[in-house]
Structures are given as C-alpha cells and as structure tokens.
C-alpha cells in the first residue's frame, strides 16, 4: 500500500499529455492551450474616440477658443479625410478613428451646434481639456505580436471575445481523451430497473460518466460488466480502445474480484494497487503502452463514495495531465471546523461536509454525519471533502483543516 502523495507522484510520472490538435474558436471553450496565442492586430487599431462628440486640438481650448468650424463627420468604420488645423474640429462617433491633429474629444452633451452661411459651427462648452481626453491611443490594450494567453491556459467562455478580437480563429489545444466507463458486479442492475432480491442499482456507472462529461470529455459507456472472466475480458478489451478505461468494482480481495488479473492478461502494466486513503483503498492504476497509443486504466473500488473520491483525487489528476493543465492536483482551501470531529482509523480520510457561516459571516466547514463508503445519501448534501490525517483523534471546533470542494 502506498501513500496518497506517492500515488500522485506515480500518476505524474506515468501520464503524458495528449497529442496537440487544432480546434475552431467556437469549439475551444474548456480546452487547454498547447501554444501561446499572440495578437495579429493592435487594439485599438487606431487612435479612437470613446465618446460621441467632437475631435479637437486641445491646444485650441487652452488658448481660449470655443467656437469651431466642423470639417467632417467620422463614423465608426470610416476613415478621416481631413487633418485638423487651428479652429477646426471633426464630428466623431464612438469607436471612430481620430483625425490627424486631434488629441482629445469633447462629448456631444457639452456642445451646441448651429449653421452659419451654410457652414457648420459648434461651440464647445468646456473649461479646460487635457490632451488624451475621451480617446484611446492605438495599441493601448494590445500590440501586434503580444501574447494574449499562454500555453496551459484553460479557455473560458469569457476569453472568447478577446481571442476573436486578436484573430485566433483556429486554436492549438491538447487533445481530449475518450474515456470508457465499465462498472462491474453480478449484483448490479440498471437504474431504470427495480432491483430484485440481493441486487442493487448501478450508481457508479452513471456517476463516473457524468463526472467525466463534466470535465468536457467524451465518454464511452460500456454498460455493466458481470463478474465473469470471459465477459469481462471482452468488455475490457473494448475499453482499452479508449485513451482511459475506468472500471469500478472487482478490485478488492474478494473471490469474484477479477479485474486486476484480467487487466494483467490484457497486457496492462500495474503502476499501483491500494492507496492508504479512506474511502477508496483498493484503487488500481495501470498503463497499456502500444506503439500507436497509450491507455491509462483505473480500477476504482465498488463502493460508490470510494469511486467518487478515487475519481476526484486520482482520475481527475490524470485527466488534467492528459489535457495539458498546468496545475494538476485537486485544488483546496483552508477552513475552520464549525463542529468537533472524531477522526478514527489507520488511513488519512476525506470526510464529506458542507459550508456554513458563523455569526460574523465567516465560512466554516461542517463535517456531516457520514456512514462510510457506501453512503451516497450524505454525499448528496456535501459540498466539499475535508482531509484528516490517520489516527484516532478529536479535532475541536475552530481547528483548521484542508478542504477540497466537490
């Protein structure tokens, strides 16, 4: 049996990022950049007005002039035709390029215009006007060639506008693995069936499929595998076509725990079996290397909370490595316990709990009354898992613990 940190280390030593592929901007959300994205334009592309108003030479205002001749109107998308000279201004719209000579904008609300002998005249009602007022210089956001996002960045929906602006129509990202999910056990029936005597519904299959999908990955649902060597062998060999095979059940020491020997026969090399963690001790991890591709295999324990925690800690770490993430291990925060917690046992434990607020609105972690690795009911109320080290000990309220959001 190895420690949790040894398991993380072995996963990091074994798992390689997926090959790089190109996706369209629209398909890039949640993917991780495999190359820096650089802008092919300046932003803004020209000195531009950020107000509807009049583009002026601030020097004119400083010298006391308030009445001007309007020489042209510049709309957004148009290009100025005239250079400003003393006593002349241009009507300008938000986003439009500043005419040469102009260095500030007076907003339309501070102006009054009239026609005199067929000429358009405007009075600018301002006390003073600093150069640069209500305009943005060319390239003040980004210059051509500047890095917008670096390799390893996971693209968010809110990043898409900037990527579009800077011309990133095709984006280099790390590939997305396909994950095959195979829960095993003679006692399992589908969730749309009523279990007969001695049987239970397959919780892990749908849960693992959903957890993998929530990471944006493609899933191959292999249905339920029976504890039968030839059937499991066939299903496992199907699952080994995917980049990741997730099994649940059949990895403990029971008479019908057939998964590790079948994996060994299929050529999957064991990296570890059993981690000192509660829940989830029997977890199995291995790799099948072939000339053209690699498949990583996780055998998660059958108890649903063990499967859930095993996925959250170890499978997710492997998937983040495969998809090119910079930070690999599960993220956590430090929080105070709102209640005392009795820790028991010889293995470090991830204990479910929820967030509560004390009188001063400080967020604290409340450990829930959890019955152990088969108790998914309590997980239904849980928002996070708190880490408690091995050993029998009372952790008083107010003690700080490391908390892993679910």
Pick 185 or 367: Cβ nearer Mg ion: 185
| Residue 323 binds: one of Mg ion, ligand AMP, none (C-beta under 5 to 8 A by kind) | none
Distant-in-sequence contacts of 144-151, Cβ < 8 A, 24+ apart: 144/39, 144/40, 144/41, 144/42, 145/38, 145/39, 146/38, 146/39, 147/36, 147/37, 147/38, 148/37, 148/38, 148/39, 149/33, 149/36, 149/37, 150/33, 150/36, 151/33, 151/34, 151/35, 151/36, 151/324
The contact set with ligand AMP (CB under 6 A) reads: 183, 185, 187-188, 200, 202-205, 248-250, 252, 254, 301-304
Write down the residue that tokens 């053209």 correspond to: 292
| Residue 349 binds: one of ligand AMP, Mg ion, none (C-beta under 5 to 8 A by kind) | none
- On whether the CB atoms of residues 382 and 353 are closer than 8 A, the answer is yes
- The closest of 310, 339, 316 to 328, measured between CA atoms, is 316
Both tokens of 349, joined, read: 């434990």
Length of the chain: 406
Pick 161 or 198: Cβ nearer ligand AMP: 198
Among 53, 101, 175, 185, binds Mg ion (CB under 5 A): 185
Both tokens of 267, joined, read: 């050529």
Pick 329 or 375: Cβ nearer ligand AMP: 375
Select from 48-56, 242-250, 285-293, 322-330 the region that touches Mg ion (CB under 5 A): 242-250
284-320 burial, b at 16+ Cβ within 10 Å, e below that, comes to bbbbbeeeeebbbbbbbbbbbbbbbbbbbbbbbbbbb
φ, ψ for residue 22 (rounded to 5)? -105, 130
| Residue 220 binds: one of Mg ion, ligand AMP, none (C-beta under 5 to 8 A by kind) | none
How near is the Cβ of 277 to ligand AMP at its closest, in Å?
Answer: 15
| Residue 39 binds: one of ligand AMP, Mg ion, none (C-beta under 5 to 8 A by kind) | none
SS3 call for 12: helix
Select from 62-70, 300-308, 344-352, 365-373 the region that touches Mg ion (CB under 5 A): 300-308
How near is the Cβ of 9 to ligand AMP at its closest, in Å?
Answer: 25
Pick 209 or 386: Cβ nearer ligand AMP: 209
Cis peptide before 279 (omega within 30 of 0): yes
Residue 249 contacts Mg ion per CB under 5 A: yes
Query: What is the biggest distance separating any 2 CA atoms in the chain, rounded to whole angstroms?
Result: 103
Pick 71 or 181: Cβ nearer ligand AMP: 181
How near is the Cβ of 252 to ligand AMP at its closest, in Å?
Answer: 4
Pick 111 or 373: Cβ nearer ligand AMP: 373
Pick 258 or 386: Cβ nearer ligand AMP: 258
As to burial, measured by CB atoms within 10 angstroms (0-12 exposed, 13-18 middle, 19+ buried), residue 114 is exposed
Pick 256 or 387: Cβ nearer Mg ion: 256
- The closest of 207, 211, 203, 212 to 185, measured between CA atoms, is 203
Which residue's Cβ has the minimum distance to ligand AMP?
302
- On whether the CB atoms of residues 1 and 274 are closer than 8 A, the answer is yes
Instruction: Outline where DSSP puts E strands in 25-169.
Output: 37-38, 48-49, 53-56, 67-74, 88-92, 104-107, 111-116, 119-124, 135-136, 147-149
Q: Which of residues 29-88 bind Mg ion (CB under 5 A)?
A: none
How near is the Cβ of 209 to ligand AMP at its closest, in Å?
Answer: 11
Residue 282 contacts Mg ion per CB under 5 A: no
How near is the Cβ of 384 to ligand AMP at its closest, in Å?
Answer: 22
Residue 353 contacts Mg ion per CB under 5 A: no
Distance CA 200, CA 147 (A): 54
Paired residues of 74 in beta bridges: 92
How near is the Cβ of 382 to Mg ion at its closest, in Å?
Answer: 25
Pick 76 or 200: Cβ nearer ligand AMP: 200
| Residue 188 binds: one of ligand AMP, Mg ion, none (C-beta under 5 to 8 A by kind) | ligand AMP
- On whether the CB atoms of residues 42 and 98 are closer than 8 A, the answer is no
Pick 227 or 243: Cβ nearer ligand AMP: 227
| Residue 202 binds: one of Mg ion, ligand AMP, none (C-beta under 5 to 8 A by kind) | ligand AMP
| Residue 203 binds: one of ligand AMP, Mg ion, none (C-beta under 5 to 8 A by kind) | ligand AMP
Site for Mg ion, rule CB under 5 A: 185, 249-250, 302
């Amino acid at each position: 049996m190895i420690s949790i940190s040894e398991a993380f280390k072995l996963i990091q030593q074994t798992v390689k990022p997926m090959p790089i592929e190109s996706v369209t901007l629209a398909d890039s959300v949640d993917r991780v950049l495999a190359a820096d994205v650089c802008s092919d334009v300046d932003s803004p592309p020209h000195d531009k007005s950020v107000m509807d108003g009049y583009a002026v030479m601030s020097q004119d205002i400083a010298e006391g002039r308030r009445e001007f001749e309007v020489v042209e109107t510049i709309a957004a998308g148009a290009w100025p035709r005239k250079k400003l000279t003393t006593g002349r201004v241009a009507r300008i719209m938000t986003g439009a390029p500043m005419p040469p000579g102009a260095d500030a904008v007076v907003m339309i609300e501070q102006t009054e215009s009239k026609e005199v002998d067929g000429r358009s005249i405007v009075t600018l009602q301002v006390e003073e006007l600093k150069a640069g007022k209500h305009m943005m210089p060319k390239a003040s956001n980004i210059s051509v060639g500047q890095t917008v996002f670096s390799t390893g960045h996971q693209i968010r929906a809110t990043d898409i506008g900037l990527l579009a602006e800077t011309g990133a129509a095709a984006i280099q990202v790390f590939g997305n693995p396909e994950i095959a999910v195979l829960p095993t056990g003679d006692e399992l029936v589908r969730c749309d069936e009523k279990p007969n005597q001695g049987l239970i519904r397959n919780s892990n299959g749908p849960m693992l499929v959903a957890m993998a999908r929530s990471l944006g990955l493609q899933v191959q649902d292999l249905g339920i595998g029976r504890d039968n060597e030839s059937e499991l062998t066939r299903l496992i060999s199907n699952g080994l076509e995917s980049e990741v095979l997730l099994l649940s059940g059949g990895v403990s020491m029971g008479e019908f725990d057939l998964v590790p020997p079948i994996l060994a026969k299929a050529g999957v090399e064991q990296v570890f079996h059993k981690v000192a963690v509660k829940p989830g001790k029997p977890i199995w991890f291995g790799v099948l290397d072939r000339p053209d591709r690699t498949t990583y295999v996780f055998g998660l324990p059958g108890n649903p909370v063990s499967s859930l925690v095993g996925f959250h800690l170890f499978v997710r770490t492997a998937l983040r490595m495969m998809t090119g993430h910079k930070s690999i291990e599960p993220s956590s925060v430090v929080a105070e316990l709102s209640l005392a917690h009795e820790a028991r046992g010889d293995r470090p434990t991830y204990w479910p709990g929820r967030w509560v607020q004390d009188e001063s609105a400080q967020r604290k972690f409340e450990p829930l009354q959890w019955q152990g690795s088969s108790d998914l009911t309590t997980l239904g109320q849980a928002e996070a898992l708190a880490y408690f080290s091995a050993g029998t000990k009372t952790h008083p309220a107010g003690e700080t613990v490391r908390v892993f959001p679910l």
